Amino acid sequence: MEVCILGSSLTSLTLAKTLVNQGIYVDIFSSKNNKEADKNRTIGISKNNIEFFNKYIFNINKILWNINKIEIFSENLNDENILNFVDREKLFSVVKNYRLMNFLISELNKNKLCKFKKKKITNNILKKNYKIIINCDLNNLITKKFFYKKIKKDYNSFAYTTVFKHKKLNNFTAKQFFTSRGPLAFLPISETETSVVYSVRGKEKIDLDYFIKKYNNNYKIISINKSSSIELKSSNLRSYYYKNVLAFGDLLHKIHPLAGQGFNMTIRDIKEILKLIKSKKGNGLDLDSSICIDFEKNMRHKNYLFSNSIDLIYESFKLESKIKKNLFSKLVRQMGKNKTLNNFFVKVADEGFFI
- Residue 291 and residue 249: Cα distance in Å, rounded? 16
Q: What is the pLDDT of residue 13?
A: 97
Task: For residue 108, report the phi and psi dihedrals to the nearest 5 degrees.
Answer: -70, -35
Q: What is the pLDDT of residue 33?
A: 57
Contacts of 225 (CB under 8 A, 6+ apart): 39, 40, 162, 163, 164
For the domain that residue 218 is a member of, what is the CATH number?
3.50.50.60
Burial class (CB in 10 A: 0-12, 13-18, 19+), 99: middle
Q: What is the identity of the amino acid at 59?
A: N
Q: What is the pLDDT of residue 315?
A: 92
| Domain residue limits at 320 | 2-351
- Residue 215 and residue 322: Cα distance in Å, rounded? 20
3-class SS of residue 126:
helix
Q: What is the pLDDT of residue 37?
A: 58
Tell me the Ramachandran region of residue 108: left when phi exceeds 0, alpha when psi lies from -120 to 50, beta otherwise.
alpha
Q: What is the pLDDT of residue 353?
A: 67
Per-residue pLDDT of the chain (355 residues; tens, 9 = 90+): 799 999 999 999 999 999 999 999 999 998 765 554 578 999 999 999 999 999 999 999 999 999 999 999 998 888 889 999 998 889 999 999 999 999 999 999 999 999 999 888 888 888 888 999 999 999 999 999 999 999 999 999 999 999 999 999 999 999 999 999 999 999 999 999 999 999 999 988 999 999 999 999 899 999 999 999 999 999 999 999 999 999 999 999 999 999 899 999 999 999 999 999 999 988 988 889 999 999 999 999 999 999 999 999 999 988 888 777 787 888 888 887 888 888 887 888 888 865 5
Q: What is the pLDDT of residue 26?
A: 97
Q: What is the pLDDT of residue 36?
A: 46
Task: For residue 179, report the phi and psi dihedrals to the nearest 5 degrees.
Answer: -95, 170
Alpha helices, DSSP H, located in the chain: 10-20, 47-56, 97-109, 141-146, 208-215, 262-282, 290-323, 327-337, 339-351
Helix (H) or strand (E) holding 247: strand 245-247
Beta bridge partners of 247: 135
The tally of domains found in the chain comes to: 1
Using CA atoms, how far residue 29 sits from 6, 133, 135, in Å, is 5, 10, 10
Query: How many CB atoms are located within 10 Å of the residue 352 CB?
Result: 23
